[in-house]
Chain A
Amino acid sequence: MKPISGSPVLTVSSAPHIHCGRTIKGTSLEMLLALLPAAAFAIWHSNILAFRVLALSCVVAVITEAICLHLMKREIESDNYTALLCGLMFGFLMSPCSPWWLITAGSSFSIILGKMVFGGLGGGPLCAPLVGWAICKVSWPELMDFDMTMLGSELTYPLSQLKNFGPETLSQYPLKSLLLGFQLGGSGAAQSGAILLGGLYLLSRKIIRPDIPFAFIAGVALTAATFYAISPLDYASPIYHLLCGSTLFGAFFLATDSSSSPVGHIPMIAYGFTAGILVIIIRVYGVYPDGVPFAILLANLASPLFEKIRPTPFGGITNIHLQR
């Protein structure tokens, strides 16, 4: 409705009247962009097999989210790409030879149990792709074993070599080839170099804060160094722990998941560090060769606890009525 006076209709709002311009959609797009190099490396290493895993996982995630939102009588919000991102991250954790039904089941469980049952975007207490991964890992262990599913591949899985044959087997992996992704592992998660590139891109664009990834890497490196210092013959050196398996993917993409990680500098650092320590403990003492997913899930559960670490508010604790 236009007033007769011909004066323009002003927008009235409460302060602040401006915004930094960062949106959910923009953030997810940046993260997808950061994952692209790793996806490309995965497809190159697995002779297109990974493509079908990643594409299926993405499609299933988006469709599942749309169905859930429809059932919840809510607006379909697939255009913010968060479900797509969740699907892609789930695909990154799966073997490129996974059967289609495993990907479908895992990807839809990620969305349903990791995200939608908690009210959708931002509600999940756990990193959504890891929920789907954990369900698959405990339900179909043989299909989730990279050595078993990829018998035809010339590459080997360094973390199970480490677990079964000791740290001296790691000498067959030059660091350069690990960085280029010449190792078995999750389709995208094992592409350490490309993941590192994507992670640094996200840091430079300030999409993720450095607190969690650096604390995570520090936790992994320090714990691994401690074990390595105790006995270099029994434990692998920190650099292998960082470059093998999904450590870097966990540090930059899984641990930084916004809804399941704590807020505030000190809680973030404590959370990242705890997850990093848990990775090495699971790798050394646990039955799972790659401890990253379970370590992050455990740290997720502790994040409400970390959030209790709060500085005193400005001016101490005051009563609002006294400021009347």
Chain B
Amino acid sequence: MNPIFLLTPSDRGPVLKIREQNLSSALLISLEITELTPLVGKEELVAKGQKIASDPQNKLPSVHSSVSGKVLDVKKDFILIEEEGERVAAPLTLDNSDSSSMLSYLREAGIDVSGLKQGCTLIINTVPAEAGIDGHRFLIEEFNQIMSEGLDFLKEALSPKASAIAVPQGMSWTLPGCTGHEIKPVYPNGLAPMVVKAVTGKEMPSGVSVIDAATLYRIGRTVHGKQPVTEIMVKVGNTLFQAPVGTTVKLLTSKAGFKLSDGDRVVLGGPLSGRAVYSLNHGIPADTQGVTVIAGSNTPVAKDSPCLGCGECVIKCPARLMPNMISRHAEFGLFENTQAYFIASCFECGLCAYWCTAQRPLLQYIRLAKKELFSKPILEDLRK
């Protein structure tokens, strides 16, 4: 088995707490706030847990300062905060009268609740999304109580039909009130659509909400402490960090022992589905579970070469699609045609582009086509 695809959680090592490290300077928190409106200005003093950016449309989770400090800079994409003082923001007020206000409470606390539906089947996914992104093992084994508190809150807010926990094979993780399901720890089985299939037996059914273990922990912590969670578990290489949200990847990678040079990639998440950052000063967002460093090489990962028709992508695709044909159409801007090849079933695991002999950017083309189709008015589609 290729270790890239092995999702068995690794043994628990010590947790490195960034706040307790002997840093030469005060912590500089660089928060990513893309598409959100900043609520603070330059030179302003912020408290730990204070809301510093929010979505005017009330869809995306808000962003909170993870330290008490002074805002050094506010840019389009970043808020830079230097640690200073010991201020703590007032606790969040919880109105648990009805479900939607409970969910908006979570969103205000910085948790993405867009996938949670009333009366759904709730699935707690504890399978690592990718090899090595297994920092939540520590949370499940140490903070089971907090997580069940979070689960109770979710149950009250969503009143789910049933709740289940998906665990990687061989792990004895449980949560009270959840039926356990063992998942074969091989990529892409840890991705939400595959977990849903393994638990419910159906492919992409409606009325199923998946929430991963780290997010459940954050919910529990929020409900328990009435404060947004500003310290998260991040796995960088083989080291597990407890770090404030917004800690720069520069600090994390250097503490984890990586020496970065030109051409390397720093990816939030795993190498197959993560997001590469452009600057080492990039702060980690609250939903980060791992940072992957990929050494640069002279040969590019993807090339602009023609499809050979070898069929490797078709055989490796867990969604039974034809990435070769989708990419051939997307390449020439024929995005409409990709619907005939069921592009909507793609859950972007990245295996097609990983295996492509011609090194074509298959997933990249699929994402491009999806984006173009999404931006099309919905009416046009219904008229057919």
Contacts and interface: CB of A to CB of B under 8 A. Distances in A.
Main secondary structure of the interface of A (DSSP, over half): loop
Contacts of A141: none
Nearest to A320: B344
A15 interface: yes
A27 B357 contact: yes
Contact of A11 (B203, B263, B347): B263
Nearest to A18: B271
A19 B310 contact: no
Contacts, number: 180
B204 A315 contact: yes
- Residue of A258, A264, A314 with most chain B CB atoms under a 10 A cut-off: A314
A73 interface: no
B273 interface: yes
Contacts of B321: 313-314
A203 to B, nearest CB: 14
A11 B296 contact: yes
Contact of B357 (A16, A22, A310, A321): A22
B322 A263 contact: yes
User: Which of the four size classes fits the interface of chain A?
Assistant: 35 or more
Interface stretch (B85-93, B105-113, B159-167, B300-308): B300-308
A263 B314 contact: yes
Contacts of A19: 301-302, 353-354, 356, 359
B265 A264 contact: no
Given A14-B363, A262-B311, A315 B271 contact: no
B354 A315 contact: no
B78 to A, nearest CB: 15
B345 interface: yes
A312 B274 contact: no
B280 A10 contact: yes
Contacts of A258: 308-311, 357
B374 A321 contact: yes
B45 to A, nearest CB: 27
Nearest to B335: A320
Given A18-B272, A19-B301, A268-B311, A13 B339 contact: no
B273 A16 contact: yes
Nearest to B272: A16
Nearest to A322: B344
A207 B261 CA distance: 34
A9 interface: yes
A121 B367 contact: no
B71 interface: no
Interface in A225-268: 258-265, 268
A119 interface: yes
A176 interface: no
Contacts of A9: 262-263
Interface string A107-123: 00000000000011111
Contacts of A171: none
A318 B345 contact: yes
Interface in A296-324: 310-324
B275 A15 contact: yes
B250 interface: yes
A316 B311 CA distance: 21
Contact of B301 (A10, A18, A261): A18
A63 B120 CA distance: 64
Interface in A1-39: 7-20, 22-24, 27
B319 A15 contact: no
A52 interface: no
A16 B381 contact: no
A112 to B, nearest CB: 17
B277 A7 contact: no
A11 B276 contact: yes
Contact of B364 (A14, A310, A311, A317): A14
B173 interface: no
- Residue of A119, A209, A265, A315 with most chain B CB atoms under a 10 A cut-off: A315
Contacts of B354: 16, 18-20
Contacts of B199: none
17 contacts: A9-B263, A15-B274, A16-B272, A18-B354, A23-B357, A24-B358, A119-B306, A121-B305, A264-B314, A313-B321, A314-B347, A315-B193, A315-B319, A316-B345, A317-B345, A318-B344, A322-B344
Interface of A: 7-20, 22-24, 27, 119-123, 209, 258-265, 268, 310-324
- Which 5 residue pairs spanning A and B have beta carbons closest together? A263-B311, A315-B204, A16-B350, A314-B319, A313-B342
